[in-house]
Structure 1
């Protein structure tokens, strides 16, 4: 039997290391984001609300500056072909450990589909990418519509599910831009309109990294990413690491070994933790938090029973495994929240947490409502409790 790390210790680490037990003051948005390594960005509002939950003194404009002016944060496709906002000093680890492999799969699939409409699709696609890259370098940033006007080949159409009722055709614009982003050639820049918007300008990678993203051996990058992840999310199981990264079992186990992880016992089975992270951490004072849909904390592990009661899953997850807005108390999920069309932030507790904690949840809902202000937050993936709360 190895050293044991209890559920109580895991919850204490979560609260302290993810910036939830005590909100940050006086730290830049990039540093707050780094507390959870990377921010989920499939839903644009999640990026902002995840920072708001962890920082007492940052507003939406502060995060916008980090993304588009300071460029200390970069929006990119990464692990599991998921969109993340990544601190700039971690971009090379994400790119070389994960994004390069995502790009290879996207390229192969697009070339296969293009064989039906163009000759020598690989060379044709490379030429289109070169043209688009030059366009974004020249303009400094353009929306997809402007790029497809300037480069007509982006309007090439592919037919999907031919003969099916749900079939149809669409241009390759989005697929080419997503491929170029995964390849580290272009970056999703400023959004159109409010911070909740999802229409981006596309800018050249050189605006963030003048010499491009640094080259790293993929195995070295995987070890570095796992080491950084365990420092924030450890201890964890091998299944947790494989799920979060999207890697196969061989690469996951090799990365854990190279990262210096050691085997330990968790309350419900074997786990891994960094060798320098075996000592217990202090249990923080009682805390509550309202986290947005797809926040990196609840989406950090695949084995969730130690912080997420299984009976809550039908209410707080959709059918494909996306989590909705959650209410937390002392390292565990205790309910959900939503914003109504009126702007009111409302909560529902699914378990008794006591009067003091309940009052703290109400105060946090009021704080979040004021922080959101006139914006309206509608999760991209709706869950049953969210819909129920919005309906009143």
Structure 2
């Protein structure tokens, strides 16, 4: 086949991430469709679903989280994500080597004074204790009683790689600043390499369903899994995935029959929340974030600011202000795009007003460090 253009890849991503048109789906169906929603900030998945689901009611996500149909845990890129409950075990198992390596080989774990094997041995007992919801303080105290000298490093590692779900604690976005946890429903932790390797092909396929076409490098980056393991998983998938050359000649992978819209399909403006997964899901993020804009929206410590999407690409950042939504753009925005952006901003202001008018306010300090751009305030009531 003719290699797809960069713009065609952009449209494929937007289609699968429900950003070409808001979908008439339930919250669990939408989460399953997009595979994973970044949840480092509690408000982010709510803003993500507002961008993707027609007539999205945040109470529906509250309910899905309370019922554990959608779950929150440390998963892709060792970061907090929401996934459909039926995807959790596969993703968590495939991610185990990465989750463990990121914690158990870190000096912050080493100060605990216990070995890796001793940390693993704690897991079944920790999960039994967390059979019902437990606060982070309760679980740290539980670890403290078993690692009495320097327990903090042990709990810091366990809370990331053990099969634990975050428990909703209330507040405007289901989760507050103090985390609570509950066992994910398994009483053991997979430690056999074959278990990881068996789960990885499914993770690769799920990733392609939500973000393909993509390369081995893309899968490796989003999951923080070595490329050799990804290649082995792709080999296992055999002819159940398509293989073709990308714009630069590198091999791309995809799921047969997955949406690949024409590159000329219109992409409506969107106001994405912090750390929207679409911006982070590739080794080459220029699929959605132009290289000249990326250092402006991705700050030095990894914070990814709320972004403005026009014609499928990030053109700037946004933040709520008293008069509506302040938009700062660093690329030219066509005159005809502003009415649609205005409508999005009005809808966003109304959406946030019901919960928290300024959910990302703690990151406002970054605006003082941004270069001058075209600043407009839109979306006034």
Superposition TM-score tier, normalisation by shorter sequence: 0.7 to 0.9
The one-character-per-residue Cα deviations of 1:189-214 (angstroms, maximum 9, x if unpaired) are: 013433162322222223xx6x7799
The equivalent position to 2:145 in structure 1, one of 141, 150, 153, is 153
CA separation of 1:121 and 1:8: change in aligned 2, threshold 3 A: closer
Pair 1:240-2:202 in alignment = no
Q: What RMSD in Å do the two structures reach over aligned CA positions?
A: 3.3
- Following the alignment from structure 2 to structure 1, what is the Cα–Cα distance between the partners of residues 94 and 121? 26
Q: Report the alpha carbon displacement of residue 123 of structure 1 after superposing the two structures with TM.
A: 7.5
| Count of aligned pairs between the two proteins | 364
Question: Could you tell me which residue of structure 2 aligns to residue 24 of structure 1?
Answer: 23
1:68 and 1:190 in contact (8 A); partners too: yes
Question: Could you tell me which residue of structure 1 aligns to residue 103 of structure 2?
Answer: 106
- Following the alignment from structure 1 to structure 2, what is the Cα–Cα distance between the partners of residues 279 and 121? 47
Instruction: Mark the runs of 5 or more structure 1 residues left unpaired by the alignment.
Output: 159-170
Moved more, 145-154 or 381-390: 381-390
The equivalent position to 1:336 in structure 2, one of 308, 317, 327, is 317
Question: Could you tell me which residue of structure 2 aligns to residue 296 of structure 1?
Answer: 277
The one-character-per-residue Cα deviations of 1:325-349 (angstroms, maximum 9, x if unpaired) are: 1111232112211123x48322123
Pair 1:190-2:168 in alignment = yes
Q: Report the alpha carbon displacement of residue 365 of structure 1 after superposing the two structures with TM.
A: 1.2
- Following the alignment from structure 1 to structure 2, what is the Cα–Cα distance between the partners of residues 278 and 62? 27
The equivalent position to 1:361 in structure 2, one of 336, 341, 353, is 341
1:289 and 1:327 in contact (8 A); partners too: yes
- Following the alignment from structure 2 to structure 1, what is the Cα–Cα distance between the partners of residues 368 and 28? 29
Question: Could you tell me which residue of structure 2 aligns to residue 59 of structure 1?
Answer: 57
The one-character-per-residue Cα deviations of 1:22-52 (angstroms, maximum 9, x if unpaired) are: 1123x22122122321111222221211111
Moved more, 141-150 or 366-375: 141-150
Pair 1:254-2:232 in alignment = yes
Question: Could you tell me which residue of structure 1 aligns to residue 134 of structure 2?
Answer: 142
CA separation of 1:143 and 1:11: change in aligned 2, threshold 3 A: same
CA separation of 1:381 and 1:259: change in aligned 2, threshold 3 A: farther
Per the normalisation by structure 1, the TM-score is 0.81
Pair 1:87-2:84 in alignment = yes
Question: Could you tell me which residue of structure 1 aligns to residue 31 of structure 2?
Answer: 33
2:219 and 2:230 in contact (8 A); partners too: yes
CA separation of 1:284 and 1:93: change in aligned 2, threshold 3 A: same
CA separation of 1:129 and 1:172: change in aligned 2, threshold 3 A: farther
Question: Could you tell me which residue of structure 1 aligns to residue 180 of structure 2?
Answer: 201
Instruction: Mark the runs of 5 or more structure 2 residues left unpaired by the alignment.
Output: none
Secondary structure of 2:99 counterpart:
helix
The one-character-per-residue Cα deviations of 1:108-146 (angstroms, maximum 9, x if unpaired) are: 65764233xxxx756765676555434332xx2121224
Q: Report the alpha carbon displacement of residue 229 of structure 1 after superposing the two structures with TM.
A: 1.0
Pair 1:75-2:69 in alignment = no
Secondary structure of 2:18 counterpart:
coil
2:143 and 2:155 in contact (8 A); partners too: no
2:162 and 2:189 in contact (8 A); partners too: no
